[in-house]
């Protein structure tokens, strides 16, 4: 199963509470209805009326994510996290999006934030176990991404060093040619 499909499965699980969320805010019911019909434009419009910053950001994340705008979805999750830094759903969604976009440092920050939020969470054991399992599924992907980024940075440093060395070599050859040419021209010697 590819990373995109795994991420989508996780998002479906997060959206599973649709009817319960709809009882909290009538605008959520409207957003959920449009979302389920695939009318992301109407779902987005409905999010304008959601009173809770956290819930609004969560729904906007889902709308953007499912419409293929991953960078916009990540930004919405981060907006929601400013309002609700302990939101396990927003932390998970932001991490999934960040991993999908290949953002190693951002993923590392989000993993740390998610871990801290899980540690402080007052969830019952059964609820916490599901979040722990989800965390355990995504946390190692951050290490793999950071390792990949480290290898890429190392290759970039090597390439820079080689290109600087080549440029210095070419410059030295040009200087030698100029000196040789001047030494070989009459009237240019000691005078």
Provide the CATH number for the domain around residue 126.
1.25.40.10
User: Chain-wide mean pLDDT for the chain?
Assistant: 81
Res 30 pLDDT > 80:
yes
51 neighbors 83 (Cβ within 8 angstroms) = no
Is the overall model pTM greater than 0.85, yes or no? no
- 167-176 pLDDT tens trace: 777 787 888 8
Domain, as residue range, for 27: 3-146
Report yes or no on 78 lying in a domain.
yes
Report yes or no on 66 lying in a domain.
yes
Catalogue the E-assigned strands of 36-172: none
Structure tokens at 170: 């070419």
User: CA-to-CA distance for 131 and 116, rounded, in angstroms?
Assistant: 12
Q: DSSP labels for 51-73?
A: --HHHHHHHHHHHHHHTT-HHHH
- 88-114 pLDDT tens trace: 999 999 999 999 999 888 999 999 999
């Amino acid at each position: 199963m590819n990373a995109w499909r795994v991420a989508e499965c996780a998002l479906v699980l997060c959206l599973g509470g649709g009817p319960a969320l709809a009882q909290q805010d009538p605008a959520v019911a409207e957003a959920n209805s449009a979302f389920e019909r695939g009318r992301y434009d109407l779902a987005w419009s409905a999010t304008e009326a959601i009173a809770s910053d956290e819930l609004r950001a969560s729904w906007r994340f889902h709308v953007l994510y499912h419409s293929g705008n991953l960078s916009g979805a990540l930004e919405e999750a981060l907006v929601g996290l400013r309002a609700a830094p302990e939101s396990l759903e927003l932390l998970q969604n932001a991490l999934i999006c960040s991993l999908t976009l290949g953002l190693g440092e951002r993923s590392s920050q989000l993993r740390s934030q998610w871990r801290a939020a899980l540690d402080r969470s007052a969830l019952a054991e059964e609820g916490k176990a599901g979040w722990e399992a989800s965390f355990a599924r995504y946390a190692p992907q951050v290490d793999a991404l950071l390792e990949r980024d480290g290898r890429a940075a190392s290759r970039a440093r090597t390439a820079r060093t080689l290109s600087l060395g080549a440029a210095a070599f070419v410059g030295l050859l040009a200087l030698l040619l100029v000196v040789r040419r001047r030494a070989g021209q009459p009237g240019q010697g000691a005078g």
